[in-house]
Amino acid sequence: MGFGIKLRVWGDYACFTRPEMKVERVSYDVMTPSAARGILEAIHWKPAISWVIDRIHVLKPIAFENIRRNEVKSKASGKKLAIYTSEEVQQRAALVLRNVEYIIEAHFEMTEKQGAEDSEEKHYNIFLRRVRQGQCFHRPYFGTREFPVSFELVEDASSVGESVHKGDIDLGYMLLDQIFKLNDKREVAEVTPYFFRATMKDGIIKVPRLKEAVR
């Protein structure tokens, strides 16, 4: 296991969309491991490292709110270089989380793409420096870009406070991650989702490794 970190993240709203909901967006009860990894990668990522989520601490009560959002129906591509929102916009309902706060407990592992100049200590210190200075490659978000993430390093675990959740809570099957298979043109040809049975114990969700997940 590589160097471990704890990152506190919070925001006004979040939407970790359930993949089985085809029309309207409905969020999972808590942040998914893939969303947590996306936040870490927004702060610091290189081909030489791979982030692994170990635990997710749910600090605030789970509260939902119904909202309506404007979305565009299509995506920009090589064949469609421009999108005119006046023609493409549509309104969709969404069941989102409000007033969320989590602690992401994770570590990174070195990959086969590491170079001679790469080391665990180097990337660990880079991550710490970037978090302390509030730096990120792009603003991390909770599921969708209009729900930005505030973040800070957990320097002292005793200063965080306890979760409001006590006992065991079965959250059902949750998306763990998605593996993308590319074709010869480096385009996404196949997406394989992996799920796990999420159980929250005293506000903490232990995240399994990908080999322990189900498809």
The mean pLDDT value for 101-112 works out to: 95
Say whether pLDDT at 1 is over 80: no
Q: Domain extents for the chain?
A: 4-208
From residue 207, how far is each of 64, 154, 194, 214 by CA, in Å? 23, 19, 12, 13
Q: What is the pLDDT of residues 15-62, one digit of tens each?
A: 999 988 767 889 999 999 999 999 999 999 999 999 999 999 999 999
What pLDDT, on a 0 to 100 scale, did the predictor assign at position 75?
Answer: 60
* β-bridge mates for residue 30, sequence order: none
What is the residue whose two structure tokens read 């309902």? 93
Contacts of 115 (CB under 8 A, 6+ apart): 48
Share of the chain above pLDDT 70, in %: 87
Instruction: Please report how many Cα atoms fall inside a 13 Å half-sphere around the Cα of residue 21, on the Cβ side.
Output: 16
The mean pLDDT value for 100-128 works out to: 94
CATH number of 4-208: 2.40.50.220, 3.30.70.2660, 3.40.50.960, 1.10.150.120? 3.30.70.2660
What pLDDT, on a 0 to 100 scale, did the predictor assign at position 214?
Answer: 81
The mean pLDDT value for 189-201 works out to: 91
Q: Average pLDDT, whole number, for the chain?
A: 88
Continuous H helices in 103-146: 120-132
Q: What is the distance between the alpha carbons of residues 15 and 137, in angstroms, rounded to a whole number?
A: 21
Q: Taking the model in full, what pTM does it have?
A: 0.87
Say whether pLDDT at 105 is over 90: yes
What pLDDT, on a 0 to 100 scale, did the predictor assign at position 85?
Answer: 58
